[in-house]
């Protein structure tokens, strides 16, 4: 791009500024988007030719947060940015999901979108700027793109909607909602909420849809100033004659196959039918795509299109889904808890052929996840990790680390459950939930919400309620449309929408919308919200039949955490020089850990109740001030000619003078007491230098008087 331009529009509490022509001029297009002190550079590039051997659009989206943008140097040994953080991965997905449906069908040139945070003011999240920047760069470039999209983040503070809330406002708000849309409908939604009623969610989506329009309109104006002519790229588009030919070869057979209830049998039959269609490629010699002969891969693409049409025909004409269910029917559900003997909590949730095993582990403060982000350093004590092994779909695949899909699904399930988690004050544990997907045929992320909720209750985590999730699908034909409850993999693949909503019986806790068509009208989404609410109630009922409230106690295998509050100015006494005292307490009592917060709250963790109580007494004793007249248990630590030094509180010693050892005359202190002897003492004096004088004989006299 060689043209330079600048445009701005009021957006929330500040102006949104878009500029081009100064940076990254060798890209197909590059823009900077600024809001407050936050600046994001977005560059887009396209390959010259379509990628060979693919039947999907090869879009790559990379979002990077540079720590220099916030005036910091990265932590760690290498002192530079490394693999993408979870935030970067989730934001990359946030950019990818709304722009992907807006490229022409059959467009197979590689396209890369790179968003880089150059400046961060620590108040405004760059992710919305990155979405707007990606749309703008694509819109003004020569890359085929059927946008632009507008985007907005909406929060709510004290019941009032807040556009583009700051990090601080998001923490205080009822919900955090990202909405992306075109002029005539919504393209994507992502959000979490604090058990917000469906009516409030629908109101928020409508409001956000209105407020995102200026960010879309400004891009059209910007294109008029600096836009390039769109390239006439090669498009894979099968002729109607070719589609009719494949449809004739499969007529009747597809309908029979879709009557097969089991996913594995149905897929095997479909593969056999495809092999039959492709067995003699000479049948297709008369057909061309982009002036070239057809390949078996081309026939697979056309076969998918015929399947796509058949799925819709069954739903619209026969009111029938592939597995025979009605449009609102949920597949059979089964729930179990306490399925593993030595874990802290576990559950198994199965919905049709989707199955999630959730396992809870309770840890201590030192198990918290440290997060270094542009808005500062924070600590997370609740994690949900999602694993999707290849055997869950009957495939073979190398096991690497978690991919973007796994991270995205885990983050969505974590959002859904976070609203019901207890505060650190109520439950001072670090909680990790792992969802192992053992079978998958549609909406395993929502199955993870259900299994995660069950496992938390099984672990004795005092959650405020059960959480369930469901996915609502959509199929369209012209102006006709149908909503589908609990979509399976086939309906996700050939459908137009995946609308996931999770929540409790009080309201919504997480929401996510992805589509494959250009946009969806707000009124259709509102009906989807209502349909999800109805389904969620059914699922919650089945879950609550298995476990209706959290177990009263945590697992015997989990660490017990006891707490005690000490004065903040006494923290040093408990820690000791170089941590010497706290290490001594851990060794002496056998507890696993002792953590002290800045306000003086002490957390003692141990699998042994006896050890925890012993450490608790030790810590309490360290900060306890001696009282004149009070009697203590003491132990002799040193013997001198004039008396015995005794430890009567942890870390505190006093002197029992020889005259206070006994009512009788003591000639030799070493004959009266030895190091290690234990007896009761009474505090009789604390001098100006805070030295404590003790009396053994007065303590014995007090005990005798009490007996009389």
Whole-prediction pTM value?
Answer: 0.88
Say whether pLDDT at 282 is over 90: no
Q: pLDDT tier at 527 (50, 70, 90 boundaries)? A: very high
Beta bridge partners of 436: 357, 387
| pLDDT tens for each residue of 359-389 | 999 999 889 998 888 888 888 999 999 999 9
What average pLDDT does range 10-19 have in this prediction?
Answer: 93
Q: Which of these three, 291, 318, 345, is where a domain ends? A: 318
Q: Which of these three, 318, 348, 365, is where a domain ends? A: 318
Q: Is position 555 within any domain?
A: no
Q: Is position 636 within any domain?
A: yes
| pLDDT tens for each residue of 286-337 | 888 877 888 888 888 889 888 888 888 889 988 888 888 889 999 999 999 9
Q: Are residues 533 and 657 in the same domain?
A: no
Q: Are residues 608 and 475 in the same domain?
A: no
- The pLDDT assigned to 359 comes to 98
Q: Is position 264 within any domain?
A: yes
In which domain, by residue range, is 258 found? Answer: 240-318
Domains held by the chain: number = 5
Q: Are 588 and 500 in contact (CB under 8 A)?
A: no
Q: Is position 326 within any domain?
A: no
Q: Residues with Cβ < 8 Å from 643, sequence gap 6 or more?
A: 655, 656, 657, 658, 660, 661, 669
Q: Are residues 595 and 480 in the same domain?
A: no
Q: Which residue has the tokens 């694993």?
A: 387
What average pLDDT does range 283-287 have in this prediction?
Answer: 84
The structure tokens listed for 293 are 């002969």
Q: Are residues 43 and 112 in the same domain?
A: yes
Q: Which of 9-23, 257-271, 537-551, 570-584 has the lowest mean pLDDT?
A: 257-271
Q: Are residues 258 and 404 in the same domain?
A: no
Three-state SS across 629-676? CCEEEEEEEEEECCEEEEEEECCEEEEEEHHHCCCCCCCCHHHHCCCC
Q: Are residues 193 and 110 in the same domain?
A: yes
Q: What is the CATH number of the domain that holds 571?
A: 3.30.1370.10
Q: What is the mean pLDDT of the chain?
A: 92
Q: Are residues 58 and 142 in the same domain?
A: yes
Q: What is the CATH number of the domain that holds 294?
A: 1.10.10
| pLDDT tens for each residue of 547-570 | 999 999 999 899 999 888 899 888
| pLDDT tens for each residue of 622-673 | 888 899 999 999 999 999 999 999 999 887 899 999 999 998 888 899 889 9
Q: Is position 149 within any domain?
A: yes
Q: Cα(651)–Cα(642) distance, rounded to whole angstroms? A: 22
Query: Considering Cα of 217, then 140, then 405, then 168, what sign does the dihedral take?
Result: negative
Q: Is position 69 within any domain?
A: yes
Q: Are residues 473 and 367 in the same domain?
A: yes
Q: What is the CATH number of the domain that holds 691?
A: 2.40.50.140
What average pLDDT does range 122-140 have in this prediction?
Answer: 97
Q: Are residues 458 and 597 in the same domain?
A: no
Higher pLDDT, 214 or 652: 214
Q: Are 127 and 94 in contact (CB under 8 A)?
A: yes
- The pLDDT assigned to 53 comes to 76
Q: Cα(457)–Cα(707) distance, rounded to whole angstroms? A: 50
Q: Are 417 and 360 in contact (CB under 8 A)?
A: no
Q: Which of these three, 182, 202, 226, is where a domain ends? A: 226
Q: What is the CATH number of the domain that holds 491?
A: 3.30.230.70
Q: Is position 431 within any domain?
A: yes
Say whether pLDDT at 603 is over 70: yes
What H or E segment, with its residue span, contains residue 562? strand 560-565
| pLDDT tens for each residue of 410-419 | 999 999 999 9
Q: Are residues 114 and 62 in the same domain?
A: yes
Q: Are residues 357 and 271 in the same domain?
A: no
Q: Is position 551 within any domain?
A: no
- The pLDDT assigned to 706 comes to 65
What average pLDDT does range 536-552 have in this prediction?
Answer: 96
Q: Are residues 673 and 602 in the same domain?
A: no
| pLDDT tens for each residue of 73-109 | 988 788 888 889 999 999 999 999 999 999 998 899 9
DSSP for 319-331 reads ---TTS--TTPPP
What average pLDDT does range 610-614 have in this prediction?
Answer: 89
């Amino acid at each position: 791009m060689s043209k330079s331009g600048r445009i701005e529009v009021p957006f929330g509490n500040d102006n949104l500024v878009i500029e081009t022509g100064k940076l990254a001029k060798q890209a197909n297009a590059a823009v900077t988007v600024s809001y407050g002190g936050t600046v994001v550079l977005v560059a887009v590039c396209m390959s010259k030719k379509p990628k060979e051997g693919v039947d999907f659009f090869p879009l790559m989206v990379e979002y990077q947060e540079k720590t220099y943008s916030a005036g910091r140097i990265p932590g760690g040994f290498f002192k530079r940015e490394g693999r993408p953080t979870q935030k970067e991965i989730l934001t990359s997905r946030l950019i990818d999901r709304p722009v992907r449906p807006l490229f022409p069908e059959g467009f197979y040139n590689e396209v890369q979108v790179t968003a880089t945070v150059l400046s961060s003011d620590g108040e405004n999240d760059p992710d919305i700027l990155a979405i707007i920047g990606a749309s703008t760069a694509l819109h003004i470039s020569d890359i085929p793109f059927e946008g632009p999209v507008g985007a907005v983040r909406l929060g709510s503070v004290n019941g009032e909607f807040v556009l583009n809330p700051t990090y601080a406002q998001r923490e205080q708000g009822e919900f955090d909602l990202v909405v992306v849309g075109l002029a005539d409908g919504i393209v994507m939604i992502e959000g979490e909420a604090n058990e917000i009623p469906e009516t409030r969610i629908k109101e928020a989506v409508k409001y956000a849809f209105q407020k995102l329009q200026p960010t879309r309109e400004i891009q059209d104006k910007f294109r008029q100033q600096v836009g390039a002519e769109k390239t006439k790229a090669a498009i894979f588009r099968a002729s109607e004659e070719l589609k009719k030919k494949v449809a004739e070869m499969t007529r009747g057979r597809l309908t029979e196959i879709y009557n097969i209830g089991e996913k594995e049998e149905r897929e095997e039959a479909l593969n056999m039918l495809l092999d039959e269609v492709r067995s003699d490629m000479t049948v297709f010699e008369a057909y061309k795509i982009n002036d070239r002969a057809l390949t078996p891969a081309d026939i697979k693409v056309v076969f998918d299109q015929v399947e796509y049409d058949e799925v819709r025909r069954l739903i619209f004409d026969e009111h029938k889904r592939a597995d025979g269910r009605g449009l609102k029917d949920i597949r059979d559900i089964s729930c179990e808890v306490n399925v593993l003997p030595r874990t802290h909590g576990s559950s198994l949730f199965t919905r049709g052929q989707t199955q999630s095993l959730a396992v809870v582990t309770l840890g201590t403060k030192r198990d918290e996840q440290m997060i270094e982000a542009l808005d500062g350093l924070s600590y997370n004590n609740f994690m949900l990790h999602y694993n999707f092994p290849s055997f869950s779909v009957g495939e073979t695949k190398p096991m690497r680390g978690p991919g973007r899909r796994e991270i995205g699904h885990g983050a969505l399930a974590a959002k859904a459950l976070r609203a019901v988690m207890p505060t650190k004050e109520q439950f001072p544990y670090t909680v990790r939930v792992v969802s192992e997907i053992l079978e998958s045929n549609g909406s395993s992320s929502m199955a993870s919400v259900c299994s995660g909720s069950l496992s938390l209750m099984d672990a004795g985590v005092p959650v405020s309620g059960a959480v369930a999730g469901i996915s609502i699908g959509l199929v369209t034909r012209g102006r006709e449309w149908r909503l589908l409850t609990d979509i399976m993999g086939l309906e996700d693949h050939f459908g137009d929408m995946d609308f996931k909503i999770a929540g409790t019986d009080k309201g919504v806790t997480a929401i996510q919308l992805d589509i494959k068509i250009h946009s969806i009208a707000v009124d259709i989404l509102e009906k989807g919200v209502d349909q999800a609410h109805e389904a969620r109630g059914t699922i919650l009922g089945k879950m609550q039949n298995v476990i209706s409230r959290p177990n009263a106690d945590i697992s015997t295998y989990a660490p017990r955490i006891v707490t005690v509050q000490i004065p903040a100015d006494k923290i040093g006494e408990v820690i000791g020089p170089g941590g010497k005292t706290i290490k001594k307490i851990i060794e002496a009592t056998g507890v696993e850990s002792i953590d002290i917060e800045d306000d003086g709250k002490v957390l003692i963790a141990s699998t042994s109740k006896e050890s925890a109580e012993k450490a608790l007494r030790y810590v309490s004793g360290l900060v306890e001030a001696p009282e004149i007249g009070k009697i203590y248990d003491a132990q002799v630590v040193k013997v001198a000619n004039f008396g015995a030094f005794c430890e009567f509180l942890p870390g505190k010693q006093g002197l029992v003078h020889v005259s206070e050892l006994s009512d009788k005359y003591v000639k030799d202190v070493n004959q009266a007491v030895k190091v290690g002897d234990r007896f009761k003492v009474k505090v009789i004096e604390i001098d100006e230098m805070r030295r404590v004088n003790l009396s053994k004989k007065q303590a014995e006299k007090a005990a005798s008087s009490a007996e009389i």
